Each structure stands twice: as C-alpha cells, then as structure tokens.
Structure 1
Amino acid sequence: MPKPIYVLENTRPAYHLRYTWTGWPAGGSAFPSQPDDDFFRQLDEQWATDNLKHLSTAWERSQVQLGFSAIPTVSPVLCVSRAKGRLQHALRLARNTVKFSRKVAFRGIGANHTAEVEEYVSQQVDREKFVDPRFAAMLKRFTTLDSSVALDQPSESISGRYWYDVHIVLVTSNRVRYRRQRDFEALDRSLVATAKKHHHRLAARAWMPDHLHVAMRGNIEESPAEIALAIMNNTAYTMGQNAIWQHGFYAGTFSEYDVRALRR
C-alpha cells in the first residue's frame, strides 16, 4: 500500500462537532438527585483529557443526557465510553452507586437540520450559476441524493442507538478546478468504494470543480478525522497518488435537532 499523503499531523481541520449521550439506569433502579457543581467540575476536567468539552446536562431520575463538543479525532464509540464510564465512576466515588443499563443513545447535532444540509448539498451546482449549461448539466450528474439512507432513523448496535451524521467538505489544492467527466467518474467511484469499505452510508454528495460536499451516516467506530482522511487518501490515490486536496477538511455534525437542544 502507498504511504498516505494526508495524516493527522499534516492536516488542519475546521470543525463543529456536537454530541449528546443519553443513559438510563438498569431496570428497577433510578438515578440519584443531580449532583452539585463541584461534582461536575471534577468530571469536566476528566472529560477534557478525552478531548470532550461538557456543554450541558439534563438530569432526571429516569435518564441522564449529557451534551459535549469534541475534536475530530473523537469517535462515537469513544464518546459513549467516556461519558458513561467516567460518570458511573464519579457516582460510585460519591457513594451513589448506580447500575447503568447497557443501552445508550448517541446523537450528533449541529447548527443545521438534516433537511437543510441535504438541500444545501443537492443545490451546489445550481447555486454556482455556471456560464456553460452543458458543463453544469454534466456536473449535475455527480450530485446524488440517496433517499434510501434514512438519517432520521438510528443505527442500531448491541450497545444502543446512534445518530451519527456528518457533513464533510474537501477543497482542492490551490483551488485547482476539475472539468473532465472521466475525472469526476473516477473520483466518485473512489468515494463510493471508500464508503462501502468503511461502512459509511452516503446520503448526499456533490462534486464541484474545486471542492466536494458529502453528507453521510458514519460508522460509529470511526472519528470524523478518520472518515475525512480515508476519503482524501483514496481519492488522491485514484488520481495518480497526487496531493489533490488542501491539507485540511471541514467536519460538522447535524441531525433532526439543532444545538438549541443543548441546555446547561
């Protein structure tokens, strides 16, 4: 295998990643009353070492929901593990031992709703207002909206339900503009193959002359950085193992709910 062109050490991502974790007590039990601020201050310091910033808490006897922001190297599996594990340990130290249900819910949220993101991606070519209608028509064939990918429905796993929807944006190196249909065909095949290999589901994608938009349901074991880097490296390999992308990417979460769902 060729050496990857793009790695964490040489990329500078932009990101807006917000997650909620919801946990429940095991059957027949209940959570104690919400702990005080000092309890959470200590937890916040621990979560910070996991690259999670605690944003909100919604505490009830029957369930607890925590909101976090994260950097792109944090996967849903890691977020869930640290949210639940550290909270359960802190409660035990406070002599409020609670047996947690094995089931959890995880959701990525953002500034925009799912429908807004899908519409934004699908309208990229129309918004550009290309002078040559033939080029616009050709490029439009590389805008795909897959209605079979139901982002409002969770991905089920043995540990719970996950809504892990990510918007990835890549920009070409030096804003080089691709124009040939065969290049777009090769790039799109590479994107689709990468998603299949990594168990992502492409909900919407739009190839533009100098950038790419992808809205997807991600594999919960992979972080946004891993998702973006896999796409960047595989498409670069397709184009002759050339550095076709800028050394950076944008990754943002979105869902049926927006960040206003977070309440401190």
Structure 2
Amino acid sequence: MMVEFASCSTVKTKPDSTIIEVSDAFEKASGYSKDELIGKSISMIKHPEQDRKIIKDLWKNILNKRVWVGNIKNKKKSGEEYWLEQTIIPKLDEDKKNIDSFLSISVDITAKMELEKMASIDKLTDIYNRRMIDQFLQVEIEIASRHNEELSLMIIDIDHFKHVNDNYGHLVGDMVLSQLSKIISDNLRNSDIFGRYGGEEFLIICPKTNKDGAFILAEKLRIIVNDFTFDEVGHKTVSIGIAEFQTDDTIETLFKKADEALYEAKNSGRNRVCV
C-alpha cells in the first residue's frame, strides 16, 4: 500500500517508468484515477514543454542510484499544466545491487512558479521582461569574460510603430507586439535569450556568438518579419543593432554600442541590420 506523506503526493514506478502504485494525493493532483495510471508510463503526465536537459539530468542521477531533487512541469488529464517539486529515490533489490523501483515524493509548487513567472515574464508578449533580461545579460557578460567566450547583443526596434498606435489604436499595437514576439521566438536558437525591453524595443542575447554569427541571425529575423503579414496593419519592418562583447565591456557599454548600431540602422533607411 502506498504510504501517504502530509502535503505530498507519491508515485512508485518500475525502472522502465511503468507506474506501480500511486497515492490518493497524486491521483487528485494529476486528475487521473488510479486505474488510469497504474500500468502506464509516468511520461503520460509529462508536459511536452518540459526542459529535456532537466529530464536528462534526472535519469543520469537515478540510474546511478542517486537521489534526484528538482522541479518538473507536468500536464493534468484536463490538459492544464502544473508544477511539482520532486524527490526521486532509487529503491534497490534485496541484494542491494540493482534498482528495483523508483519512489517519487512530490509537492505541488504551481502557485509559486506562477508568481515567479509573473515577476520575470512580460505579460503582453509572454517573453522575458526588462528585469530578467538585465539579469541574464549580467550573467552572460561574466561568463564571457571569465572563459574568454564570444557574446553578442542585439536590439530590435519596430519601424514606425507610433504610426500603428496613432492610426489603429493601442489594442492593435499590442497585437503587433505579441505577433512579432511569437515570430521571433519561433526562429531563435535554443541558446538565444529573448526579451522585451520596453515599448517596441526587444533584446536578444546571443551567447557564444560573434558579430558575424549575430548578423546572420539578425538578417534572417529581419527578412522573416518583413515577409510576415500582421493582422489589421499588414506588413511591418524592424531595424536591428548589434554589438559584440569586448573584455572591458559592462552592461552599459555593450548596450550603448548596440543602441548606436540601431540608431545607424534607423538613420540609414530602416529595415536593416547594422553592427
């Protein structure tokens, strides 16, 4: 019989992830009945957007008979996402040589994760806000400086965006910002860090990327935006400024260089990339 822990849900699986036992709390949290869960793979509740690196780290540890603790994004039967802080404990057989099963003890941290998301995500565009971008940029500058790695910063500005707000209204302007964010997000590399810095201005941090690599990415994004038809307003363009990190750069100096490149792009006709 599955042991119940106060404020926790528990699930026991075979080494191949087949569910053997679940607690009442786990049943309630997932939205599935015990009959629907037992005999199935635990992956049935895994959210499709769960970070693969975390799952890889999880398996690396538990298959080496080490306890793993971390946060996992799951999906309820209803499709609703929820977060669990999980402690996964490998249970050994009688000979203490092979793994017999895994016991997962979980605490629901959905409310906590939602609060953290609200503090770091721009509500309109669902990408990082200025606060988080500043934090990421500081970290990436420290990494690039310490390990002598390449790093580039990109500032993207929507051309003639004031015209959209003045002629179509702020609701349409918000829609353009949201659509642009989606277009760019869908065409970035996994390593790129994307956020809204304010108004119609966006930043992309490109770790391990020199100015030439950043230029290729920026040109790709510029063309994609240029070819896209936005709802209500049709075609819009962006201007992009790029700066490459140098060892004596700070957030302020790197941003200033990218901003100056953006200014050059604007002044030389817009809808272009400048370094």
Verify same fold: TM over 0.5: no
Q: TM-score by structure 1 length?
A: 0.31
- Higher relative contact order (CA closer than 8 Å, sequence separation 6+): 1
The structure with the largest alpha-carbon Rg is 2
* Structure with a larger share of its residues in helix: 2
